[in-house]
C-alpha cells in the first residue's frame, strides 16, 4: 500500500476508512437523557425496526473534522450493504474512491490504483468491521459486553452513545453515536469520535432496504461507476 500518495491527496488510508464509518448544525442540538423507565420500550422499538434488514442502498454525505485542519473535509457518494457483512462505499465527490468489505477482506480503489488487505489478520480491523456492520443494523443495542451505552433524545432522533470497554478500541475511538429516527427507528446517521478528538459524521439519504443487490457490487473486480 502506497500511503504517501493517498495522504497527499487527502484520501482515506485503511484506518481512516474504518473511522469514517452525517450538516453539523442538524446534529449539534441539545440533548435530554432518556429516563430509565423508558429505556426498555425505546430499545425494543429500535431493535424491531432494524432486526430484519437484509440489504441497504443509500446516498451519503460525510464530514470529517481533523484537529489540525481549519476546514471540515466533505465528501459524498453511494452506499450498499448486504447482510451479514458485505459493504460497498463509493465516493463520488470530491474525487472517485471505492471501498469494498467482503468476506473478511477490504479492497480500496481510486482512479488508478487498487489495494487490498485481509482484515482477519488484524484484531482491531476485525473489531472495526464488526462495529460498522452492527451499527448499520442497530445490533450494537444488544451488545452489553463490548460497549457501555447512554440514551438521549435530540429533536427528531433517539441518540445512543456507545463507549468501548476494550482498551484497544479506546485507543482509536472514544465513542460511537447512532442517530435513530424517532418516526421509524432506522439509523439515519453515524458519528465516530476518535480518541485524539477528531470525528467523522455521516448522514444517509434516499435509503432503500431489502432490495436484492447484485453480488458483483461487492467484488473487488467491479469498477467504479
Q: In this structure, what DSSP letter does residue 220 have?
A: T
Query: What is the structure's pLDDT at 1?
Result: 35
Residue 223 inside a domain? The answer is: no
Asked if residue 224 is part of any domain, the answer here is no
pLDDT beneath 70, residues of the chain: 1-29, 221-225
Other CB atoms within a 10 A radius of the CB of residue 149 amount to: 16
- Per-residue pLDDT, 208: 95
What is the number of domains present in the chain?
A: 1
* Per-residue pLDDT at 120: 82
- pLDDT tens per residue, range 26-80: 344 588 999 999 999 999 999 888 888 999 999 999 999 998 888 899 999 999 9
43 in any annotated domain: yes
Q: Does residue 216 contact residue 222 with C-beta atoms inside 8 Å?
A: yes
Model-level pTM?
0.80
Q: Would you say residue 32 lies in a domain?
A: yes
* CB 11 within 8 Å of CB 110: yes
Residue 126 lies in a domain: yes
Three-class secondary structure of residue 110 per DSSP:
coil
Which domain CATH number covers 50?
2.50.20.10
Strand partners, 107: 100, 116
Domain range holding 69? Answer: 3-218
φ/ψ (deg, to 5) at 45: -60, -45
Instruction: Give domain status of residue 173, yes or no.
Output: yes
Residue 120 belongs to some domain of the structure = yes
Amino acid at each position: 500500500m502506497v500511503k504517501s500518495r493517498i495522504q497527499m491527496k487527502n484520501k482515506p488510508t485503511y484506518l481512516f476508512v474504518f473511522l469514517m464509518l452525517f450538516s453539523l448544525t442538524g446534529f449539534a442540538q441539545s440533548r435530554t437523557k432518556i429516563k430509565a423507565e423508558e429505556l426498555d420500550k425505546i430499545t425494543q422499538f429500535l431493535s424491531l425496526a432494524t432486526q430484519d434488514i437484509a440489504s441497504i442502498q443509500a446516498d451519503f454525505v460525510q464530514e470529517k473534522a481533523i484537529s489540525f485542519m481549519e476546514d471540515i473535509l466533505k465528501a459524498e457518494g453511494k452506499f450498499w450493504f448486504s447482510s451479514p457483512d458485505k459493504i460497498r462505499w463509493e465516493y463520488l465527490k470530491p474525487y472517485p474512491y471505492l471501498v469494498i468489505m467482503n468476506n473478511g477482506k477490504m479492497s480500496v480503489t481510486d482512479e488508478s490504483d487498487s489495494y487490498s488487505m485481509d482484515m482477519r489478520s488484524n484484531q482491531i480491523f476485525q473489531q472495526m468491521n464488526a462495529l460498522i456492520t452492527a451499527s448499520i443494523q442497530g445490533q450494537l443495542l444488544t451488545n452489553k459486553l463490548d460497549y457501555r451505552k447512554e440514551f438521549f433524545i435530540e429533536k427528531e432522533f433517539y441518540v445512543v452513545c456507545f463507549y468501548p470497554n476494550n482498551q484497544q478500541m479506546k485507543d482509536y475511538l472514544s465513542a460511537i453515536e447512532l442517530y435513530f429516527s424517532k418516526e421509524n427507528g432506522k439509523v439515519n446517521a453515524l458519528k465516530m469520535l476518535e480518541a485524539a478528538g477528531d470525528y467523522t459524521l455521516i448522514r444517509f439519504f434516499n435509503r432503500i432496504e431489502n432490495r436484492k443487490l447484485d453480488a458483483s457490487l461487492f467484488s473487488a473486480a467491479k469498477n467504479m461507476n
